[in-house]
Structures are given as C-alpha cells and as structure tokens.
Amino acid sequence: MNENLKFKTLLLQYRQFPKKITNSSPRPTPRFFQDVQTFSTKKAKGTPRDSLPPRPPVKSAPPVSRIFPHRPVERAQIVSFRSQHSNGSFLGNSSNNDRNLYFEQEFEIICKIGMGSFGEVYKVKSKEDGKLYAVKRSHERFRGDADRRRKLEEVAKHETLPPHPNCVTFYRAWEERQRLYIQAELCKISFSEYTDQHHEMLEEGIWNFLVDLLMAVKHLHDHNLVHMDIKPENIFISYDNICKLGDFGLVLDVSKGSDLSEAQEGDPKYIAPELMDGKFGKPADVFSLGMATLELAGDLDLPRGEEGWHLLRSGTIPEEFLRDKSFDLKYVIRQMLDPDPRSRPTVDQVLAFPYVRRMWKRRRREYVMKSVINSIKAMFFRLLQFVFMITSVFSFPVKKIRERQVPSSSSHNTSYSSGYPLDHSISDDDCFEDDISIHNNSVGAPLDSSSSSDGFSSEFIVPSRPMPRHAFTTPV
C-alpha cells in the first residue's frame, strides 16, 4: 500500500514538472562561435546613435561639501595656462553683475549639435565678431578640486599643441558656475553622422579619411601626446571637406616623468588590447585609427564585447566585408590592427608605406589648391568691398548736392502756388474758336437784326437747346 502511494506521488510530480526533470543537466551546454552571426553591417542592423557611451570612472572625487564648505565663486573666469593670461581674470563686467550666463550674453545659441558623456556641444554665433563657433559645455558641475583640475587639463593640452590643419582649432575656454566651457572651430558635420547617411563609401574617400587622420595623430605624437579616444564621433569634416581630429578630453602626455595614474581609456569599441593591461602609449592611437578605418571600409557594426570583440583584437579580420577593397587598403588595416603593440607600425611607418605615401602627396596637392582658391576668393571679396567703399565715398557728395537742389525748386513752386492759386476750371467759352460770331453760329439764331445807337448790340444769341456746363475745378 505504501509502495503504491509512493509510486502515485512520483508519477504526479513527473506530470507536474516534466521540463525540470527531463532538461536537467550537470553542465551547461557549450555555445560555439559563429562568424556569420557575430559581425554585421550598420546599414543592415540600423545601429542607433542616440545611446550614450558609458561614463568614465571618477577618481578621487569626494563630495563637494567636504572640500568646499563655503559656496564657491560662480562668476565667469578665463581658463588659460599661458603666461600672458591670468587664470583669475574676468571675461566681462556684464557677467559679474547679471544673473544670466556669460555664455548666453556673448553668444546667440542656434542649436545643439552634439551630446555625450562629457557634456553638450552647441552651434553658436558670436555677438562680438558675428562668426559661427562650436561651444562645448561640461555636463556636470565640478565634483571637487581634483575633478576640476582633471577637466581643466584639456585646456592645457589644447594650448600646448600648436595649430594644425587636421586638428580642430581651439580659441578659448572659461569656467562659470562650476562648469567648463570650450570655444572651438565649427565644422560641417561629424564623421559618425556622415557614415550613418553614407553606408557605401568610395575607396578614394576612405584614403582621404585615413591620410588626414594619420597627419593629425602624427602631429600629436610629435608633441608626446596620445589622444586615447579616436573614434568617428570625435572626427569632424570641415567646410573644406578636410577631416579633423577633435575632443582632447582624454589626451595623455607620455613624456618622460609623466604620471599615468589618471589615464583613462576611450570607447571600448575602438580601444587597443594592451590597454586592458594598463599599457598606455602611442601604439594605442594607431590601433584605434585602424579600427575606425575598418568600420568605415566595411560599414561594420563594431561589437562592444563578447566573442566578436576578442576576435578583432586577436588578429582576425572579417574579410567578407572587404571583398571590393584593394589589397593595399586591406594590408594597411591589418598592419594597424596588429595585436602586439611592439610589432604594430608607428604613424611615421604607416605614412612611409608606398601607396599611403602616394595618397598623402595627392592629398597635400589638393589641400594646396584649396588654399590657393580660398585665398583668391578672399582677395576678390576684399576687392569688392573696396570698390563698394570707394563708390559710396564718391556718390555721397553727389547725392547731397542733388538733395539740396530739389528742395529749392520745390519751395519756389510752393510759394508761387500759395500766392496765386491756379485755376483748373474749364469754361464753355474756352471751347469756342476765335471766328465764332453772331453771323457764323451753329448754336443759336439772332432774334433781331437791328442795332442800338449807344454802341451796344441789341442782338442776343439764344441757344436752340441748353448746353450743359462742366466745371473741372480743383479745390485749393
């Protein structure tokens, strides 16, 4: 009896939980890597661009109340590490006495053109010179003195680096209400937005992109600076169709004796594998640029992790996305994505490749031609301004003389008309001719042909029918 009861109980449990009993396994089922399912194009997947990258970790940032017990000064102050500027000088007196921001007083905000973990970027028009600029404002307030120094280091890197045609031009920076503002050159579009609109790019455009960015990275490396965050979001296309590198927020100084404890890596989709071991250096920029070139050449949707991320950093490149590309381009991408930073070529070595060198010379000739054309346009515009100025100078006295002559004649006519009003009425007598008489009149007939002795004619013209009178009198 007890055995039958146990059997029925087990049978009931089996019917209630069949999946739990049948699918139980002592070990998890292994999942094998599939090349086809790992990589895909951005056009097919429709990668959204509105998702923000993860924020970098905050190091040594205790609460503000512990560091600043009193309320800090929130007026606009210049941020500069140059000797001719003092870091505490005010930008303008209006910002000190007004509740409005200096940013809102000195600039006309047109629209927001970018947003990320660092903050927001606005397209503005300066009220001082009327030119267009891009102003980047930090997203959060300073969390302390250490956080403030770390963010202001970007300004120091901008001022240390000399201007270059392939780097976004820096103009000035200021801090206001515990936020950092950076005024920089305004470009036409970011490269990430351009690639979202153009999924199939010609190889000539890819070479132009690569050569421009190689020159920008070379400029940084020649000054012992590493960008650490090369990606399409930080690459911009100017109005002259020149690619420029921007956003120096994570730029690292690798000169002798520099402290790398505060170094931070950039976007995980583009970082080099040696950064996982804490090895920061110039080869990391070469790898990031090679990854961005691979994404551009194959319209590849780069993975953020898992198997695809490790495959790209182990030397495996999806060849199916580069079938229509030349051998030289694929060779350069493979060399730049070398997993070993010691065998990875430097920027100068990549520029020394024969095909890259030819493309660089062609690109330099194009840049010189554009510079000459822009100079000619500027000279022609100045010439037009000069001609317009000369014309205005000589035409102004003539205009004044004419204005003086016109009122004198008009005043004379006015005085004459006021003293002797003109009569614009029309009489019936004015309509007759001079030869009209009593003997030749078709309008009336004489009543009597006799004449008086006093000289007055006794003949009267009586009209056969009354004639209407029309008066065209203009009131004075």
User: What does the pLDDT look like over 128-185, one tens digit per residue?
Assistant: 999 999 999 998 888 888 888 888 888 988 998 999 999 999 999 999 988 999 999 9
Which DSSP string do the residues of 178-228 spell out, in sequence order?
TEEEEEE---SEEHHHHHHH-SS--HHHHHHHHHHHHHHHHHHHHTTEE-S
Annotated binding site for ATP: 136
pLDDT value at 450 more than 50: no
* Predicted TM-score (pTM) of this structure: 0.67
Catalytic residue among 147, 212, 229, 301: 229
Annotated binding site: 136
Say which residue the tokens 């031609």 belong to: 369
pLDDT value at 198 more than 50: yes
Q: What distances in angstroms separate CA 315 from CA 229, 284, 344, 356, one per listed residue?
A: 21, 15, 11, 22
Say which residue the tokens 């890259």 belong to: 356
Q: Name the residue among 189, 207, 246 with its Cα closest to residue 366.
A: 207
pLDDT value at 219 more than 90: yes
Render pLDDT for 26-55 as a digit per residue (tens, 0 to 9). 555 444 444 444 677 776 666 555 555 555
Render pLDDT for 81-101 as a digit per residue (tens, 0 to 9). 876 554 455 555 444 555 678
Who has greater pLDDT, 371 or 244?
244
Average pLDDT value over all residues in the chain: 76
- For the ranges 60-64, 178-182, 410-414, 455-459, the maximum mean pLDDT occurs at 178-182
β-sheet bridge partners, residue 108: 125
pLDDT value at 404 more than 60: yes
Please say if 324 is a catalytic residue. Answer: no
Which DSSP string do the residues of 239-286 spell out, in sequence order?
TTS-EEE---TT-EE-STT---TT-----TTT--GGGGGT--SHHHHH
pLDDT value at 449 more than 50: no
